[in-house]
Structure 1
Amino acid sequence: MNSFSFTRLSKRFSFSLATSFTGIVRCLVTGGLTGLLSGCSFTNLDDHRDLATLKMQEAVDKVRTDLEKELQKEVPSLNVLIQTPTQTYFASSAAAGQQPVTPNTIYRFASVTKNFTATAVMKMFQDGWLDYKAYINDLIPGTDQPYVPATPDWNIPNKSVITIEQLLQHSAGVFDVDNDPVPGFNGESYVNYVLSRDSTHQFTTEEMLKPIIDNQLYYFTPGTGHHYSNTGYVILSRIIERVYSARSGSAKTFADYLYDHITGPSSRVPLAISFPYRADDVQLPQPNVASLLWRPSGLLERFGQVNMSAHVGEGNGYSSMASLNTFVRTLMRGENILQPQTVTLLQTDGSVARPTYALGTSLYANLGYGHNGAIAGYLTLMVYDPTTEVSLVAMLPFWDLTQGPNGDISFGKCFNAMYDAAYAARTALGYPGKP
């Protein structure tokens, strides 16, 4: 099985991320959304749907059917959730006979995980547990242990001059063994090479760093450029694990910290969001939606069970659109575990060369702050716009890889459609749309 991560979207595709974005969901607050969503024009069969709801549904329907015409393939569903200062809306445009999607349907949200990882780092900073400006071989505050192991299997190029902040910003130059071809692995990324031969393989961070060390791979001297790196976020997940273990006095995982401090019952805003890290933890809880993926060969595959052990901290999360909306809305408004001044740090990196990319957070025109993601046939976007106080989540459980080199053209059409639906839904509700 190929993993098809495709989380470094800005490099793989020629379209501009600054002008192509996702979004929106609408769920009638009146009585809640209880009806199943099915068929091209069904959102909520409540007779009291207002005009704005109908306009939003029609807008999302049009984007999905236009995508079907472009690809000459059935698109199972296109889904948008949006919350305004006064109401929450949800629109699911589903092809006839395809699985309905609701705000509570579980799916894999891929690189949106990076926003959670960055939030965890900044929460540790806020609590005095780490210094995000520190070098990764500096000592964890109050301990004699460095942020990353001082062992040969961690001797990646430029290790002594990489900071935690640079890892968050993708400015550390750490080579991405998940997205880029690695010498000696048949022209494939290391992760895809291994998974295509053994879908049950349990990855470790040290294992993924080995090809980098063996081949002395890196993109640039830390702090001198920008290159999206899933592997950089895998390193961040280990830093979170080591800091939490040191503070608690017992062995902890990345998932432990997220559950105990960011999303679990004892967090400020408890949410049902999970971050699997074992190769055998592949099943999504019910209700869930499987994704569909057209391979370059023309073979259509359905993804449900996926080994996420290579994606810890960078793309291993799963949840629902409703939970993602609550998280990003409360986080960016300073109503969650980060104080407002820490949220400002999360959103701002001070970069003149790349002002729109901050600490695990991107800024999208007329959509706001958040992150997107793509993995195993799922596409998603999670954002909050402080100007209009509108939060938005968009999801498309469908990839087409049949057009262009490596499927870039048809995949780009799917990705753009998700953003077009977001903008169209905002416009339908009277908010600024596609710039």
Structure 2
Amino acid sequence: MTSCEVLLPGTRRALLHRVATAQSEGRTPSLVAAVRREGRTAWSGACGGVDGHEPDGNTQFRIGSLTKTFTAVLVMRLRDEGLLDLDDPIETYLPGTGVGQVTVFQLLGHSGGLGAETPAPWWERTPGTVRPELVDVLGGQPLLHPSGHGHHYSNPGYTLLGSLVERLRGEPWADVLRREILEPLGMDRTTPQARAPHAEGWAVHPWADVMLPEPAEDLGLMAPAGQLWSTTTDLLSFAAFLAQGDERVLCASSVAEMRAPAAPSEPDDRTGAYGLGLQVLRRGDRTLLGHSGSLPGFLATLLFSVEDDVAAVVLTNATSGPLTGTIAADLIRIVADAEPRMPEPWRPLPEVDQELLALTGPWYWGTQVHALKLLADRGLEFEPLRGVGRAARFRARPDGTWVGLNGYYAGETLRVVRAEDGTVDHLDLGSFVFTREPYDRTAAIPGGVDADGWRGIAP
């Protein structure tokens, strides 16, 4: 086992114990894990053997469906370049697939209604040459559910997205992936085919401590759904990108778009949702993002918490056994709970607009009181002061208005409405009127205010 001298001894011990327990109880030949915090690898650990020694951050494991997140990033790049719109039907670019008006957005979030798997034989244990064309991947009845009505995980859906990338780029998916994501992020140990040192995939007998080697097939057209091999070091770099963005690959706002839930969860799933190529999980009060993956002989999970600035990767070489998603979530919890992230120090704004400063403080929607706060770059924050209400942050626009960034008011416009003499009459937020006094009789309140004003009731 190994560890880095970044975390406290008690935290490192807890992480090592969690990994050792997972390898032992999960009965896997080897398991390697690593944690990234505040921009660097904070801890790594392993149990078991690969070629006679424990795996490390440079040892490749197959990562299965974690590949889908890479494919999703490539599609978002195409969108940002104006080469497609997420609401475009996939038939616009890949005619004849038989999936009707299923959109790019729906394929990214698994809400297109496509089947979960390809027609037999099982695609994960057979070569891609068995499915040379998209019709072989999709089958005669590709749609099993109404499009856009809910989440239904689909591996063939990501084959379509990979083919979309190839159609618009005019070159193989793997080449586009290397040039547009892997090389800019320095992920030289993430490859479509295994490169030494790498783990071998194994099936462990459920009732005896014996193993059977698993085949490592080239998945052909299904590669964008699950082909890649990678390492904990590379995947921690990818996690940092998914949390913050990188202008060389995808800007922060587009990465944040991927992290937002894109479709309703399945009715019996109360723990999470799915964004655009990313799983969105709730673990207690913590939101974790990332993806899991499995192929015969391998299990993998990458998770990260934006709020805690902690990411974890767990890789193992067994078909079943260790619950890598639970392990990764536990590693994040151990670090975040034992050594909470230090808050950023308070600093005053470098400059302030006096007219904006005059807008801060209490505002009333009817009788409900809200507080308006001034942020950096002329941004605003609006939140209720009593009870539960609609809080939101706003970004300044060049025209003197603000646009909502989150919650109920996301995308809505906040503007200052002035009286004829130039004084502020009220704030208009998506047609809601906020005044300096509750039902201010001097302001333009819809419906007006009773002329007799406020009153009591005689006993």
Same fold (TM over 0.5): yes
Q: Please tell me the residue identity of whatever aligns with 1:236.
A: L
Partner-residue secondary structure (3-state), 1:131: coil
Compared CA separation, residues 61 and 286, structure 1 to 2 (3 A): same
CA-CA distance at 1:77 after TM superposition: 2.0
Q: Deviations over 1:397-431 (max 9, x none)?
A: 112xxxxxxxxxxx4xx242x23432443344353
The higher-RCO structure (CA 8 Å, 6+ apart) is 1
User: Does 1:126 pair with 2:80?
Assistant: yes
CA-CA distance at 1:377 after TM superposition: 1.1
Q: Name 1:204's counterpart in structure 2.
A: 132
Does the CA contact (< 8 Å) of 1:205 and 1:235 recur in 2?
Answer: no
Q: Name 2:277's counterpart in structure 1.
A: 360
Q: Deviations over 1:164-199 (max 9, x none)?
A: 111111111122443xxx4xxxxx44536x82xxx5
Q: Name 1:386's counterpart in structure 2.
A: 306
Q: Please tell me the residue identity of whatever aligns with 2:212.
A: E
Q: Name 2:251's counterpart in structure 1.
A: 339
Partner-residue secondary structure (3-state), 1:338: coil
Partner-residue secondary structure (3-state), 1:345: helix
Compared CA separation, residues 200 and 391, structure 1 to 2 (3 A): closer
Q: Name 1:164's counterpart in structure 2.
A: 104
Does the CA contact (< 8 Å) of 1:108 and 1:318 recur in 2?
Answer: yes
Q: Please tell me the residue identity of whatever aligns with 1:66.
A: E
Cα separation, 2, equivalents of 1:104 and 1:364: 28
Q: Name 1:59's counterpart in structure 2.
A: 18
Percent of matched pairs sharing the same residue: 21
Q: Name 1:220's counterpart in structure 2.
A: 145
Cα separation, 2, equivalents of 1:271 and 1:389: 20
Q: Name 1:141's counterpart in structure 2.
A: none
Q: Name 1:32's counterpart in structure 2.
A: none
Unaligned runs of 5+ in 2: 267-271, 340-459
Compared CA separation, residues 322 and 206, structure 1 to 2 (3 A): same
Match of 1:76 among 22, 29, 33: 29
Compared CA separation, residues 415 and 171, structure 1 to 2 (3 A): farther
Q: Name 1:293's counterpart in structure 2.
A: 203
Cα separation, 2, equivalents of 1:393 and 1:191: 25
Q: Please tell me the residue identity of whatever aligns with 1:76.
A: P
Does the CA contact (< 8 Å) of 2:128 and 2:222 recur in 1?
Answer: no
Q: Name 1:270's counterpart in structure 2.
A: 186
Match of 2:173 among 234, 254, 259: 254
Cα separation, 2, equivalents of 1:122 and 1:314: 16
Partner-residue secondary structure (3-state), 2:280: strand
Does the CA contact (< 8 Å) of 1:99 and 1:289 recur in 2?
Answer: no
Partner-residue secondary structure (3-state), 1:243: helix
Partner-residue secondary structure (3-state), 1:256: helix
Cα separation, 2, equivalents of 1:200 and 1:86: 38
Q: Please tell me the residue identity of whatever aligns with 1:231.
A: P
Compared CA separation, residues 97 and 284, structure 1 to 2 (3 A): closer
- Greater percentage in strand: 2
Q: Deviations over 1:358-388 (max 9, x none)?
A: 1111112346211100002110011221010
1:324-335 map, 5 Å: 324-335=235-246
Compared CA separation, residues 58 and 342, structure 1 to 2 (3 A): same
Compared CA separation, residues 261 and 419, structure 1 to 2 (3 A): closer
Q: Paired residues, what number?
A: 327
Q: Name 2:411's counterpart in structure 1.
A: none
Q: Please tell me the residue identity of whatever aligns with 2:201.
A: S
Compared CA separation, residues 384 and 287, structure 1 to 2 (3 A): same
Does the CA contact (< 8 Å) of 1:426 and 1:432 recur in 2?
Answer: no
CA-CA distance at 1:396 after TM superposition: 1.7
Q: Deviations over 1:29-53 (max 9, x none)?
A: xxxxxxxxxxxxx22599x994432
Compared CA separation, residues 206 and 53, structure 1 to 2 (3 A): same
Q: Please tell me the residue identity of whatever aligns with 1:205.
A: E
Compared CA separation, residues 200 and 110, structure 1 to 2 (3 A): closer
Cα separation, 1, equivalents of 2:233 and 2:153: 27
Does the CA contact (< 8 Å) of 2:74 and 2:177 recur in 1?
Answer: yes
Q: Name 1:33's counterpart in structure 2.
A: none
Compared CA separation, residues 351 and 367, structure 1 to 2 (3 A): closer
Does the CA contact (< 8 Å) of 2:50 and 2:199 recur in 1?
Answer: no
Does the CA contact (< 8 Å) of 1:55 and 1:429 recur in 2?
Answer: no
Does the CA contact (< 8 Å) of 1:177 and 1:208 recur in 2?
Answer: no
Cα separation, 2, equivalents of 1:67 and 1:222: 38
Does the CA contact (< 8 Å) of 2:312 and 2:332 recur in 1?
Answer: no
Q: Please tell me the residue identity of whatever aligns with 2:178.
A: Y
Cα separation, 1, equivalents of 2:338 and 2:306: 13
Q: Name 1:408's counterpart in structure 2.
A: none
Q: Name 1:419's counterpart in structure 2.
A: 325
CA-CA distance at 1:331 after TM superposition: 2.7
CA-CA distance at 1:253 after TM superposition: 1.1
Does the CA contact (< 8 Å) of 1:109 and 1:315 recur in 2?
Answer: yes
Of structures 1 and 2, the larger Rg is shown by: 2
Does the CA contact (< 8 Å) of 2:60 and 2:196 recur in 1?
Answer: yes
CA-CA distance at 1:391 after TM superposition: 1.2
Compared CA separation, residues 162 and 114, structure 1 to 2 (3 A): same
Does the CA contact (< 8 Å) of 1:117 and 1:236 recur in 2?
Answer: yes
CA-CA distance at 1:106 after TM superposition: 1.0
